[in-house]
Amino acid sequence: MKSSKAILGAGILASMLMMSSSVLAQTVGFSQIGSESGWRAAETTLTQQQAKERGIDLKFADAQQKQENQIKALKSFIAQGVDAILLAPVVATGWDSVLEEAKEAEIPVILLDRMVDSSDDLYLTAVGSDLVHEGSVAGKWLVDELAGKDCNVVELQGTTGSSPAIDRKKGFEEAIAGHANIKLIRSQTGDFTRTKGKEVMESFLKAEDGGKNICALYAHNDDMAVGAIQAIKEAGLKPGEDILVVSIDAVPDIFQAMAAGEANATVELTPNMAGPAFDALAAYMKDGTMPPKFIQTESKLYTQADDPQAVYEQKKDLGY
């Protein structure tokens, strides 16, 4: 009797397992671009964390910034018969044939962070951030913070011609348009780096009456803001008070600066693209709910009021 009960129990367990495997993705392949930046390292860490939390077996492939490696990884995922594929494409073009292969094998593909130029029926959905929206969140913060006071803003752009630089500039300008009290007086590229951010800010300070003419700095990423903060300090001014600092990305170092009162606000480009992707995938597996073709991640605004030190502690081990 005992043994038959055990067999019954095992049978129920097995059928439950089978059921769960039929509704939930068990193995997911993830083709990551490579380790190009701290942000991407954090994205990898968070994807692995999210998969672990959901009991998903994540097969990770690092493409070392090469599309051929990504295509190889995708083909091997298809051959292994994974339940779904996450793809952070290194370039936009050249994905048609491998995505068609995945489609024929009925494996849904979700794009993370970047888009591809293929027809949108070749992938399930794309999760990403809206760069224009990020810029406008930063601009809106400045508008609210100033509450009508006159303010001359200097801007540190990203690498000239890159899409984050173009879109973050556009979003910010849209947000401050119609507010005559805010004027963008200088705009230069700082190439997204600390060194150039510092050097360009030094020249801004000199060109604008030792910085007395500048009331706020908008940087297209946190690294440039961190460099600029040092330049402001070396000029004998107080960043965060004499010159307001708002930037985008929300990397750990900017939270340290915010905790020290040297930066005012940052807009998060969340590295947690996998969370929304897994949610969409679970819904799709469960009852075939088709997600929208683009899932926009939240561009969360952090200010000094959001306990920056605690956020720093949270973020510092993500691999930024």
Partner 1 sequence: MNGLVLFSRRIWPQLLTLAVIVGLISVMFPGFFDISIANGRLYGSPIDILNRGAPVALLAIGMTLVIATRGIDLSVGAVMAICGAVSAWGITEGYGLFPTLAMALSAGLACGLWNGVLVALLGIQPIVATLILMVAGRGIAQLITEGAILTFNHEGLIFFGSGSVWAIPTPVIIGVLTGAIVTLIVRRSALGMLIEAIGINLRASTLAGVNTRVLLIAVYMTSGFCAALAGIIAAADIRGADANNAGLWLELDAILAVVVGGTSLLGGRFSLIASLIGALIIQAVNTGILLSGFPPEFNLIIKAVIILIILVLQSPTMRTVLVFFSSDKAAGIDSEKQKETVAP
Which residues sit at the interface with partner 1, rule CB under 8 A?
35-38, 41, 157, 160-161, 186-189, 191, 193-195, 198-200, 202-204, 206-207, 209-210, 223, 226-227, 230, 233-236, 253, 319-320
> C-beta of 57: minimal distance to partner 1 in Å?
25
Contact at 8 Å (CB) between 238 and 212?
Answer: no
Q: What are phi and psi of 186, to 5 degrees?
A: -145, 145
Lateral strand order in the sheet of 301-303: 182-189, 151-157, 216-219, 244-249, 265-268, 301-303
CA dist., res. 158 & res. 139, Å (int)? 16
Q: Tokens 């929206």 appear where?
A: 133
- Closest by CA to 285, choosing from 21, 67, 86, is 21
Q: What are phi and psi of 153, to 5 degrees?
A: -110, 135
Ranges of H-type helices in 2-130: 2-23, 38-53, 67-80, 96-104
> C-beta of 29: minimal distance to partner 1 in Å?
23
**Cβ-Cβ contacts under 8 Å for 233 (sequence gap 6 or more):** 239, 262
Give whichever of 37 and 76 is closer to partner 1, judged by the CB atom: 37
Contact at 8 Å (CB) between 296 and 269?
Answer: no
Give whichever of 203 and 289 is closer to partner 1, judged by the CB atom: 203
> C-beta of 130: minimal distance to partner 1 in Å?
23
- Closest by CA to 261, choosing from 278, 245, 280, is 245
> C-beta of 272: minimal distance to partner 1 in Å?
18
Give whichever of 24 and 60 is closer to partner 1, judged by the CB atom: 60
Give whichever of 41 and 259 is closer to partner 1, judged by the CB atom: 41
Give whichever of 228 and 265 is closer to partner 1, judged by the CB atom: 228
Give whichever of 83 and 253 is closer to partner 1, judged by the CB atom: 253
> C-beta of 215: minimal distance to partner 1 in Å?
17
> C-beta of 117: minimal distance to partner 1 in Å?
25
